[in-house]
A and B are shown apart, each in its own frame.
Chain A
Amino acid sequence: MRQALLIFNKEFKDYFTSPIAYIVIAIFMAVTGWLFFSTFFIFDQADLRRFFTLLPLLLALVVPIITMRLFSEELNVGSYELLLTLPVTFRDIIIGKFLAAVAFVAAILLPSLSYPIFISFIGDIDWGRTIGSYFGALLLGAAYAGIGLFASSLTRNQIIACIVAMVICVALAIMDQMLFFFPQTILDVITYLSANAHFTNVAKGILDSRDLLYFLSVAFLGLYATHVVMEEK
């Protein structure tokens, strides 16, 4: 576990040594700020529900950008060889990199805390619900990060890793709005698999263990698949 933390440490710091981190955070803030506040005053409600409903799709686009380099870059440069010949296990590497990505998702969400703070000046905001929703958003980010990490372990090309992860994440995010296209019999399955459906509760401020279990399982599946890929290489 110590080794995993050291890898986490390195990967997390790496995010902030390149300008990409700051660009991603700035764009995320600009897009959410615009989409959220453009309708905020129309609805005249002092809550963040509309902000949170944006997150499944937005994070599905942002998280793959965060995770794409985690393995692809190492495979491309060849530093993967150095990493694997250090006394670390596959598990240390995967957990370290995954936690770094999740921590960076947290770093992206952090500035958006200014929204509830701002709203609390103009109306009453339910802080318990807000914190709960943020926690759920982090789990959603973790699920996407698991997928992103897996995509990154598949190829040495960062762009391909990014696109593969985006396709999967966006599919999970919009699946429940496409129910129209699916046969009646599998509608329940599709709804269950959809990240958006699970996040609707979270956006309302309800933390249901079934939703949390869903996010954690998706993340775990991604990490497990990564482990399999590493063993195969």
Chain B
Amino acid sequence: MIHVEGLTKYYDELCAVDHINLDIKTGEIVGLLGPNGAGKTTTLRMLTGYFQPSDGDIQVKEFSIHENPLAIKRLIGYLPESAPLYKGMIVYDYLDHVARIRGLAPEAKQKRLKELADMCGLRDIMHKTIETLSKGLKQRVGLAHAMMSDPEILILDEPTSGLDPNQIIEIREIIRKIGEQKTVILSTHILSEAEATCDRIVIINKGKIVADGNTQELTAGKGHERHIQIGLLGADADAVRDRLKTINGVKSIDATAGGMAKETRATVICQGEKDIRTDLYTAIKQTDWVLVEMTQETQTLETIFRELTREN
């Protein structure tokens, strides 16, 4: 559906987006994740044709952004961050104006306006001036704007930023409903949101893609370290280190001799996909140590995000 190749954007000297390659399939909900200033918004703005890429190409279906930007704009519905709508207009007039520009025929337009009013919960505010609306309501009007022509691709830039928890859940539900049929790309820096709504998460840092996959793939820790905490009684720290080091998959062990209860605590750092807890248990069983605790620290999206986007 969308094919991005070598996409680059320079602001004068500053490289905001650095040779990004990305393929997005029909029907995916893709979350663009990254710290502030990572290049999320710039990437989205190039996808929507608002910014010209400095280098590289974007293809949506068979159209290229360089040759046929108008055709791409017709396929995409876009909601910029914080929904910058015409303040002085009445919601109905505004949506009507958008519908006309999107080329909806008069009867289709009426039907679509009604549908969107129900879908985005705008029925009661159709006659209100946009500047009098709360942030959440404005966001919903913006969403209606984006979905006007029932576009195949929906691009949302931080759709829930600045909303209260109830509004966030409402907007998320709408996005998930749309995502059943459409391709949705949304940017966010709220990790739980990406986890809750997206099929696929792309983490961007300093203009580059640093991770790409679904939540399970990312958290399963392909190539990442996993930590297992062990608590042992009657064991000597050095002995623990020597014994457990021999297990296949263990990278390093950090063991400290007992505290009050003479418990020796060890952190086993392992790499690879293999679950080594069985091996650990077997190795400990052969000694006369008493195993009082064993926990595996699962990687959350948060720790991965921190790891990948941390400043050196």
Contact = CB atoms under 8 A, between A and B. Distances in A.
Interface stretch (B70-78, B253-261, B267-275): B70-78
A87 B86 contact: no
A82 B145 contact: yes
B80 A87 contact: no
A44 interface: no
Interface in A1-35: 3, 6-7, 9-10, 13-14, 17-18
Nearest to A14: B88
Given A87-B74, A87-B101, A89-B70, A82 B88 contact: no
B98 A78 contact: no
The A interface, classified by DSSP as helix, strand, loop or mixed, is helix
A3 B98 CA distance: 11
Interface string B12-40: 00000000000000000000000000000
Nearest to B94: A10
A113 B40 CA distance: 56
A114 interface: no
Question: For the side of the interface on A, what is the size category?
Answer: 20 to 34
Contact of A78 (B78, B84, B88, B97): B84
Question: For the side of the interface on B, what is the size category?
Answer: 20 to 34
B73 A81 contact: no
B101 A88 contact: yes
Contact of A82 (B70, B80, B87, B100): B80
A88 B49 CA distance: 11
Interface string A52-92: 00000000000000000000000001110110111111000
Contact of A86 (B45, B85, B87, B101): B101
B49 A77 contact: no
Contact of A77 (B45, B86, B97, B103): B86
Contacts of A9: 97
A87 B73 contact: yes
Nearest to A79: B84
Nearest to B70: A87
Contacts of A10: 97
Given A81-B45, A81-B50, A86 B84 contact: no
Nearest to B86: A79
B102 interface: yes
Interface string B59-85: 000000000001001101010101011
Given A3-B101, A6-B101, A10-B97, A84 B84 contact: no
Contact of A79 (B49, B70, B85, B103): B85
Given A6-B97, A6-B100, A10-B97, A84 B50 contact: yes
Interface string B93-113: 100011011110000000000
Interface in B125-170: 145
B216 to A, nearest CB: 33
A85 B100 contact: no
B181 to A, nearest CB: 21
B302 to A, nearest CB: 31
B48 interface: yes
A82 B85 contact: yes
Interface of B: 45, 48-50, 70, 73-74, 76, 78, 80, 82, 84-89, 93, 97-98, 100-103, 145
Interface of A: 3, 6-7, 9-10, 13-14, 17-18, 77-79, 81-82, 84-89
Given A14-B88, A77-B87, A86-B102, 20 more contacts: A3-B101, A6-B100, A6-B101, A7-B101, A10-B97, A17-B89, A78-B84, A81-B84, A82-B84, A82-B145, A84-B50, A85-B49, A85-B50, A85-B78, A86-B73, A86-B101, A87-B101, A87-B102, A88-B101, A89-B70
29 contacts: A6-B100, A10-B97, A13-B93, A14-B86, A14-B89, A17-B89, A18-B88, A77-B86, A77-B87, A78-B84, A79-B84, A79-B86, A81-B45, A81-B50, A81-B80, A82-B85, A82-B145, A84-B49, A84-B50, A85-B48, A85-B49, A85-B73, A85-B80, A86-B101, A87-B70, A87-B74, A87-B101, A87-B103, A88-B101
